[in-house]
């Protein structure tokens, strides 16, 4: 296991170096700059570029950024004056993480049972209804779900808050918007894996021995069919925890996703880099945790 973790750490460092390098140069290939959007020109623009080091050659900016990154310094936000990128992430990530945790809980708590029920009732009316809903859920982007929920429950019925996260009820619409697609995907994965496992000889043998159906499903079938779900949950958790970019924008939630969207439109280079690096680290860590969970679920799996 120690060798596996060392190898994974090395691969994560290589991946992070590639992500930082590609993001930095691709970001700077776009014509214009952060001060062109505000129609600042002449000496004022030159002074601002010198303040943030944007007057240096691009490769020198890259070397300077790597040196700061090694020290854990993600730079100073250009548009959010007076705040470092580290401070913005530390302040806004808990907001996104809290909303993401609720969405992840909804996805798993509802997705697994729905997939099991669908598999156990293959081609019956309950299976067809669940698959119909999940097909819509997988196809519909989160901003479509958010817009529909906002219009129906926020505007027409007026029973749910439409902005921010100031009460328990205010989590319902944004959390459902984030959770709907992952929930449906987990349901479909669970169903397909469960159907494959239910046809295995050891499951048929356990059933023939007179074991209760709930024991066969819970102890034998589910344990082996949950591995594809765990694989999917790695990137899913990382994406949801960092905030649904568009969902946070729709519901005016001051989370990290909202600031990531604003940083791109405002060409806030340090904030773009910082949020991208933070998401990439979270994604790589979650994938490593997923690999470790494989062994816990199925001891036959070797690292």
Question: What tens digit of pLDDT does each residue of 91-113 get?
Answer: 888 888 888 888 889 998 999 88
Q: Max Cα separation, the chain? A: 85
Residue 266 and residue 33: Cα distance in Å, rounded?
9
* Overall number of domains in the chain: 2
For residues 182 and 113, the answer to whether their CB atoms sit within 8 Å is: no
Query: Does residue 144 fall inside a structural domain?
Result: yes
- Distant-in-sequence contacts of 2-10, Cβ < 8 A, 24+ apart: 3/303, 4/291, 4/303, 5/288, 8/288, 8/291
Indicate if the pLDDT at residue 46 is higher than 80. Answer: no
Are 192 and 255 a contacting pair, CB within 8 Å?
A: no
> Same domain for 179 and 241?
yes
Contact 117, 130 (CB under 8 A): yes
Same domain, 155 and 112: yes
Assign residue 184 the CATH number of its domain: 1.10.3720.10
Give the model's confidence band at 14: pLDDT under 50 very low, under 70 low, under 90 confident, else very high. Answer: very high
If asked whether residues 104 and 247 sit together in one domain, one would say yes
Both 115 and 162 in one domain: the answer is yes
47 and 106 inside one domain? no
Q: Are 95 and 165 within 8 A, CB to CB?
A: yes
Same structural domain for residues 144 and 241? yes
The domain in which residue 246 lies consists of 92-190+229-297
210 has a pLDDT exceeding 80: no
Rounded Cα distance between 287 and 278, Å, is 14
Torsion of CA 142, 143, 146, 148, to 10 degrees: -110
Average pLDDT of the segment spanning 279-291? 85
Query: Would you place residue 22 in the very low, low, confident or very high pLDDT band (cuts 50, 70, 90)?
Result: very high
222 domain-assigned = no
- Mean per-residue pLDDT, 159-182: 85
Burial of 260 per CB tally in 10 Å (0-12, 13-18, 19+)? buried
Q: Is residue 302 part of a domain?
A: no
């Amino acid at each position: 296991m120690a060798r596996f973790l060392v190898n994974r750490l090395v691969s994560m460092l290589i991946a992070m170096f590639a992500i930082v390098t590609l993001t930095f140069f691709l970001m700077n290939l776009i014509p214009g700059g952060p001060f062109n959007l505000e129609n600042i020109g002449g000496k004022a623009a030159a002074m601002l570029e010198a303040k943030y080091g944007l007057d240096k050659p691009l490769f020198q900016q890259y070397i300077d950024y790597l040196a700061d990154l090694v020290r854990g310094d993600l730079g100073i936000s250009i548009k959010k004056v007076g705040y470092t990128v580290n401070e913005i992430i530390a302040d806004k990530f808990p907001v996104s993480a809290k909303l993401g945790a609720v969405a992840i809980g909804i996805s798993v708590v509802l997705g697994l049972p729905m997939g099991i029920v669908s598999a156990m009732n293959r081609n019956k009316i309950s299976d067809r209804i669940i698959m119909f809903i999940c097909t819509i859920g997988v196809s519909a982007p989160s901003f479509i779900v958010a817009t529909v929920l906002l219009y129906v429950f926020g505007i027409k019925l007026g029973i749910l808050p439409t902005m921010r996260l100031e009460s328990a009820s205010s989590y319902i619409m944004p959390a459902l918007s984030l959770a709907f697609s992952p929930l449906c995907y987990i349901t479909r994965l669970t169903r397909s894996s469960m159907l494959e496992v239910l046809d295995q000889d050891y499951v048929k043998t356990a059933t023939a021995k007179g074991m209760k159906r709930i024991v066969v499903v819970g102890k034998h079938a589910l344990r082996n069919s949950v591995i594809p779900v765990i694989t999917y949950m790695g990137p899913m958790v990382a994406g949801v925890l960092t905030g649904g970019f568009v969902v946070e924008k729709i519901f005016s939630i001051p989370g990290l996703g909202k600031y990531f969207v604003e940083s791109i439109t405002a060409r806030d280079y340090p904030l773009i880099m910082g949020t991208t690096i933070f998401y990439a680290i979270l994604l790589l860590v979650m994938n490593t945790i997923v690999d470790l969970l494989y062994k816990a679920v199925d001891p036959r799996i070797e690292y």
